[in-house]
Amino acid sequence: MKDLPHPSIAVEIGLTAAIVAVRGDTPLILVARGADGRDLRGAGAALPSGPFDPLHHRTFEMGLRAWVAEQTGVPVGYVEQLYTFGDRGRQSRAGSRDPHEVSVGYLALTRLLREDLATAPGAGFREWYRFFPWEDWRNGRPALIDSTIMPGLRAFVERGRDAGASTHRRGLTRIERMRQLFGEEGDRFDEDNVLDRYELLYEAGLVEESARDGREPAPGVANWPPLGESMQADHRRILATAMGRLRAKMKYRPVIFELMPESFTLTALQTTVEAISGRHLHKQNFRRLVEAAAVVEATGEMSHATGGRPAALFRFRREVLQERPSPGLRVGIRG
């Protein structure tokens, strides 16, 4: 008897953008309506996204820019591909015969040159720490980690011991991941590991997406308030990937200047770096490192918008891109 063929499921290619901007000391992410026109923000924010149409989009990036323009009205500058997100169940529950979407995720940066930047209906900027409150260390270790996250992770660790849980794909046990990613009070915190921290919280049942996907919460935490605001489908995972990529990349490439105006003060530059990294930086150390990196030059003009003494204005030296291979801001973010 011949084996019956497995029923096939259609696969679609989607394009999803994590578009980052900074206003003052606040890092922002752009949310929008879905490709079908529904306003998704009431049921969890959605990143700008839409299907790749090979009849109208010559490249993935051209398709992405078309969807972003249509859904948000916001111009984007720097764009880079992040990762391809295609896990089964990322947009539908087990047993569904709906088309499976594989999404190509992108990181994009835009400058907010005006406070009243217009967006399309249903679109707008939101603070990215609303989705990841445990990632903002500018005022020290967030209280949320010790009050909520660590008790939930300890319960997750204990459940793994009872069930004989296997190690993580990187060979780490649950307790090793907990200690490495969140640490005990006073331990070092690697700001680049945004995705690893989110995935651990997801596996532990501590974020809303985990319950929505049918995962069992850690014992004793089923009725806890969810950590941070949820997003549609796996958009918070895509955003976590973008945050980690940007935090890491600004140390070896000058991408931070894609978020800055043409001229800026060193205080404004430091504030932007702190906003993205989630870390407070020592002022004098930061300025010495910027000077040593030779990535900016004085314009000869002064800013009177600080409310105090006039501050010198600087601009990014684009020729540094040809001078050396890794012209980033290697600031001492960890500590």
DSSP H helices in 57-173: 60-72, 143-144, 150-163
- Say whether pLDDT at 270 is over 90: yes
- Say whether pLDDT at 335 is over 90: no
User: Of 159, 194, 228, which residue is a domain's last?
Assistant: 228
Q: Domain range spanning residue 185?
A: 133-228
The verdict on 125 and 17 lying in the same domain is yes
The verdict on 178 and 193 lying in the same domain is yes
> CA dist 137 to 12, 28, 40, 129, 143, Å?
39, 16, 30, 10, 10
Q: What phi and psi, each to the nearest 5 degrees, are found at residue 271? A: -60, -40
6 falls within a domain: no
How many residues belong to the chain? 335
pLDDT tens-place string over residues 172-219: 888 989 998 997 655 568 999 999 999 999 998 899 888 887 777 666
Residue identified by tokens 């594989």 is: 102
What is the Cα–Cα distance from 332 to 335, expressed in whole angstroms? 8
pLDDT computed for residue 30 by the predictor? 93
User: Of 67, 99, 130, which residue is a domain's last?
Assistant: 130
User: Of 197, 228, 259, which residue is a domain's last?
Assistant: 228
What is the Cα–Cα distance from 64 to 13, expressed in whole angstroms? 11
What is the Cα–Cα distance from 15 to 36, expressed in whole angstroms? 14
The verdict on 282 and 171 lying in the same domain is no
Q: What is the mean pLDDT of residues 57-75?
A: 88
3 falls within a domain: no
The verdict on 30 and 69 lying in the same domain is yes
pLDDT computed for residue 220 by the predictor? 66
What is the Cα–Cα distance from 102 to 44, expressed in whole angstroms? 20
Q: What is the mean pLDDT of residues 65-81?
A: 89
Q: What phi and psi, each to the nearest 5 degrees, are found at residue 331? A: -75, 155
273 falls within a domain: yes
Q: What phi and psi, each to the nearest 5 degrees, are found at residue 300? A: 90, 0
pLDDT band at 262 (very low <50, low <70, confident <90, very high): very high
Average pLDDT, the chain: 83
The verdict on 151 and 180 lying in the same domain is yes
Task: Give me the sign of the Cα torsion angle 232, 234, 236, 242.
Answer: negative
Q: What is the CATH number of the domain that holds 296?
A: 1.10.10.10
The verdict on 118 and 139 lying in the same domain is no
- Say whether pLDDT at 319 is over 80: yes
pLDDT computed for residue 58 by the predictor? 86
The verdict on 218 and 284 lying in the same domain is no
What is the Cα–Cα distance from 60 to 66, expressed in whole angstroms? 10
DSSP 148: I
The string over 213-238, giving b where at least 16 C-beta atoms fall within 10 Å of a residue's C-beta and e elsewhere, is beeebbeebeeeeebbbbbbbbbbbb
pLDDT band at 9 (very low <50, low <70, confident <90, very high): low
Sequence-distant (6+) residues with CB within 8 A of 252 are 326, 327, 328, 330
328 falls within a domain: no
| Chain-centroid distance, C-alpha 108 | 11
Number of domains in the chain: 3
pLDDT tens-place string over residues 216-225: 766 666 666 7
Can you give the pTM of this predicted structure? 0.87
Highest mean pLDDT among 113-122, 265-274, 291-300: 265-274
The verdict on 97 and 150 lying in the same domain is no
The verdict on 218 and 268 lying in the same domain is no
The verdict on 25 and 121 lying in the same domain is yes
Burial of residue 270, with CB atoms counted within 10 A of its CB: 0-12 exposed, 13-18 middle, 19 or more buried: buried
pLDDT computed for residue 89 by the predictor? 52
The verdict on 108 and 141 lying in the same domain is no
With vertex at residue 23, the alpha carbon angle to CA 19 and CA 27, rounded to the nearest 5 degrees, is 50
The verdict on 28 and 124 lying in the same domain is yes
- Say whether pLDDT at 298 is over 80: yes
- Say whether pLDDT at 159 is over 90: no
Is-contact 107 79, C-beta < 8 A?
yes
Is-contact 60 104, C-beta < 8 A?
yes
335 falls within a domain: no
pLDDT band at 166 (very low <50, low <70, confident <90, very high): low
